[in-house]
Structure formats: structure tokens, C-alpha cells
């Protein structure tokens, strides 16, 4: 009894501390203990310098190109126009192409526009090149995907460009290059890789099994639903959906598809955790969810490994035969009371980004405890839940980078 009390007390204390941390993060510096943080000193970029100091199309910067986008392609809907009146678009083609960009590029550009006006009152940000549909850049340029812009200031004062480059870095562009005396080049990661950085998710058409035996698509799943999951050993159980760690119905991204020899396929983001084993006992028979079973990132699952599948409420093994990629709509990361979930009749963790299911389950215990006391959350606003966002920041401080999936955290 005393142990239980101490456990509950520690969980409550953890929730309180995290709520306080979240609140302080939102309010920013103010009255309190210690000294007020001094403004960060901005150092202009040197001519031909780029930040970060790696090639543009590498994982540590904006990542690989994913192919040209043209007006008639399906991916054209990934581009969104930017009508920010604080930004001047050159648009010499008079087609509006320079205004078209990915949402991430748009967000960083709008942030930079504010910084420019704060740095030089009366001066605006100017875009000279945005999305390119005319073939004016090199073959693999990110301009063809709406992921790159070339910028100047509205007064075209070249003495400002070195500091403009620094402001672009601070605004969050994934790669900034003082490329020319005439402009600064900026680019961002693709929407797909950025989506993966929120952790792990399933697409909207993935299916879960409810307690009454019905099958429900992920897009229709709600807190309070009871779905097939695992308690860590023996038969499967039905577990309550407490909330969503991430929920974005309108996002389209590239997922990993894990196919098996029994015809079951699971579609999941690369940084999601999967339960696998080396098939020592052979597929097809009952399996104990104990020693020998481990979690790996979905991107690390290989043909020949076994995944855990459901046969009613019993578990069996199925051999992975193929791992490929496909584009799907929606990002959903439900959190169950047991920390696992059966999706498309294949068992998966509810967690992602960090390489340990048990660690993730432990650090999310306060959140699960909170919902078990208060009841499942109401249908939440779309986006990443504040709790895993905070844990990511703490994890980056406390854990070595090797514990995280390369696409699981922001660089």
C-alpha cells in the first residue's frame, strides 16, 4: 500500500512539474529567480558561408530532393500560396509561381519577414525566386519542389545581406547560403520528413479492432474507444484510447509499408516503434510477448524478421516479406492505456522517436495516469500533443543523440 501511494505521489508530482515547465515555456522570460537572459548576439554570415555547415541535400540540412512538382501533378496540392503583405514577391514571370511554396517554407518565410522589419524598420523581405516551373535551376534544385527561396531586402542594400542570412538561420530555415552578392538562398526539409519528426503515426485508412469486434479506421478513432492491444504478455487485451500524441488529418506523407507472408500489411512512419523477433520459434504458432521480442524503428524492420499478429485475441508470428514506401493521407498516433495497439492486425507500440519502448512507456506514465483519473481527453485540436513535445526537448538534453531516430527529432 505504501509503495502504491509513493508511486501515485511521484506520478502526480511529475505531472505537476511538467505542467509548470510547459507553462513557463509558453510565458517566456519574466520576473522570477535568476538573471534575465540577455539578447542573443547575432553574427552575420560570411560571403559563401552556409549554415549548417553541411551540404544542402543531406539529412542534417534540407534533405534529399523528392522530384519536381508541376501544376498537373498530384503533389501540386502540397504547395500553398503566400499572400503575406509584409513580403514583396518579385514574380517576374507574372504567374504567381514565386508565391507558391510548402507550408514549412511559408512558415519560416513569414517568421523571417517579422525579423527583417524588427531589424530594419521600414524595410521588408523580398523574394526573388520561389517555386520554379520553368527549369531555370539545376536538375535537383529544391526550387522545383517549393522548398527553396532566394531573398533580399526590399531596399536591395547589399550591406544588409550578411545579417539577412543570419536572420534566416534564426527564423528556422533548414539550410541558408550566402550564395551571391545579389541574394541569399534558403531551403527547408520536405513536409514528409518533417512530419516524421513528430514521432510515429499511422495513416487515416489504417484499421483497429474494437471491443465489440467491429473494425474502425484510424481517422474515426476517438478517445474512449477500446481497441485491441497488448499488456506485455499472454493473450491480447482491449485497451482504452486515452488521447492522441499526434493527430493531423490533412497531412500527406511517405510511410513505410511492412508486408508479411500471411497477407497482413502495416503502414507506419519510419520513426515508429515496432515489435519484432528473429523468428527462432518459426511463424504461425502462438507466441509469448516476453523474452526475444524487442522493439525497433519501422525503418529498421527487415524481410525475414517476424512481427506479432493477432488471431482473435491470441498472438501469432508472421514473417516480413517486403518493406517499401508509399504516400498516404493523415497522421494519427493514438495513446492507449497499455502503450501498444494492434493496427491492421499487427501489433505496434504507441511510441516513436526514442529507441526504447519501455523508456517511452515509463516517461509517459504521468500522462496515462492523468487520463485514467480524469477520463479520456476530449477530441483534441489537430497537431502534436504538448506532453511529447516537452519530452522531446527534455530528451534532447538528457539523452545521447544515438537514442533517437534520425527523423524523430528536429536538428
CA distances (Å), 265 to each of 207, 238, 325, 343, in order?
11, 21, 12, 9
* Proportion of the chain above pLDDT 70, given as a percent: 77
pLDDT band at 217 (very low <50, low <70, confident <90, very high): very high
Per-residue pLDDT for 7 more than 80? no
What is the per-residue pLDDT for 342? 95
> What distance in Å separates the CA atoms of residue 128 and residue 150, rounded to the nearest whole number?
6
pLDDT (average), residues 389-405: 58
Closest by Cα among 83, 124, 77, 122 to 106 = 83
Q: Which of 319, 276, 335 is nearest to 300 (CA)?
A: 276
Residue 357, pLDDT score? 84
- Report whether pLDDT(186) > 80: yes
Please, what is the average pLDDT of the chain? Answer: 80
Confidence (pLDDT) at 404: 54
Q: Which of 101-105, 163-167, 219-223, 296-300 has the lowest mean pLDDT?
A: 296-300
What's the whole-model pTM score?
A: 0.56
pLDDT at 362 (0 to 100)? 87
Report whether pLDDT(265) > 50.
yes
CA distances to 65, 186, 302 from 331, in Å: 22, 27, 23
**pLDDT at 259 (0 to 100):** 94
Task: For residue 62, count other CB atoms closer than 10 A to its CB.
Answer: 28
Q: How confident is the model over 197-215, as a mean pLDDT?
A: 84
pLDDT more than 90, % of the chain = 44
Q: Which has the minimum average pLDDT: 93-107, 124-138, 324-338, 384-398?
A: 384-398
Q: Classify 15 as helix, strand or coil.
A: helix
Q: Report the alpha-carbon distance of residue 229 to residue 365 in Å, rounded.
A: 17
Residue 17 CA to chain centroid, in angstroms?
Answer: 25
Amino acid at each position: 500500500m505504501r509503495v502504491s501511494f509513493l508511486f501515485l505521489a511521484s506520478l502526480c508530482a511529475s505531472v505537476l512539474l511538467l505542467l509548470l515547465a510547459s507553462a513557463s515555456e509558453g510565458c517566456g522570460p519574466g520576473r522570477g529567480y535568476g538573471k534575465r537572459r540577455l539578447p542573443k548576439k547575432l553574427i552575420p554570415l560570411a560571403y559563401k558561408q552556409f549554415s549548417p555547415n553541411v551540404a544542402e541535400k543531406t539529412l542534417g540540412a534540407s534533405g534529399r530532393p523528392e522530384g519536381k512538382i508541376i501544376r498537373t501533378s498530384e503533389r501540386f496540392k502540397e504547395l500553398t500560396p503566400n499572400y503575406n503583405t509584409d513580403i514583396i514577391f518579385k514574380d517576374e514571370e507574372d504567374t504567381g509561381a514565386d508565391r507558391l511554396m510548402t507550408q514549412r517554407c511559408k512558415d519560416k518565410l513569414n517568421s523571417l519577414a517579422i525579423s527583417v522589419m524588427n531589424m530594419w524598420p521600414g524595410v521588408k523581405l523580398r523574394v526573388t525566386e520561389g517555386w520554379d516551373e520553368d527549369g531555370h535551376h539545376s536538375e535537383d534544385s529544391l526550387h522545383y519542389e517549393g522548398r527553396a527561396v532566394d531573398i533580399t531586402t526590399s531596399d536591395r542594400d547589399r550591406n544588409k545581406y550578411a545579417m539577412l542570412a543570419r536572420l534566416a538561420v534564426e527564423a528556422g530555415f533548414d539550410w541558408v547560403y550566402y550564395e551571391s552578392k545579389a541574394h541569399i538562398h534558403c531551403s527547408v526539409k520536405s513536409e514528409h520528413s518533417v512530419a516524421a519528426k513528430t514521432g510515429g503515426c499511422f495513416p487515416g485508412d489504417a484499421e483497429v479492432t474494437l471491443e465489440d469486434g467491429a473494425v474502425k479506421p484510424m481517422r474515426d478513432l476517438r478517445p474512449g474507444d477500446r481497441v485491441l492491444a497488448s499488456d506485455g504478455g499472454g493473450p491480447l487485451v482491449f485497451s482504452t484510447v486515452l488521447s492522441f500524441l499526434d493527430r493531423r488529418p490533412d497531412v500527406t506523407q511517405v510511410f513505410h509499408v511492412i508486408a508479411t507472408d500471411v497477407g497482413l500489411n502495416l503502414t507506419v512512419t519510419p520513426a515508429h516503434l515496432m515489435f519484432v523477433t528473429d523468428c527462432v520459434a518459426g511463424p504461425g504458432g502462438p507466441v509469448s510477448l516476453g523474452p526475444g521480442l524487442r522493439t525497433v524503428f519501422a525503418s529498421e524492420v527487415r524481410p525475414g524478421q517476424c512481427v506479432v499478429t493477432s488471431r482473435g485475441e491470441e498472438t501469432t508470428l508472421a514473417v516480413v516479406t517486403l518493406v517499401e514506401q508509399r504516400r498516404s493521407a493523415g497522421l494519427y498516433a493514438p495513446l492507449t492505456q497499455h502503450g501498444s495497439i494492434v493496427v491492421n492486425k499487427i501489433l505496434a507500440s504507441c511510441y516513436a522517436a526514442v529507441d526504447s519502448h519501455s523508456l517511452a512507456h515509463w516517461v509517459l506514465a504521468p500522462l496515462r495516469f492523468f487520463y485514467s483519473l480524469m477520463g479520456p481527453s476530449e477530441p483534441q485540436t489537430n497537431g502534436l500533443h504538448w506532453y511529447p513535445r516537452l519530452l522531446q526537448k527534455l530528451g534532447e538534453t538528457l539523452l545521447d543523440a544515438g537514442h533517437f531516430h534520425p527523423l524523430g527529432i528536429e536538428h
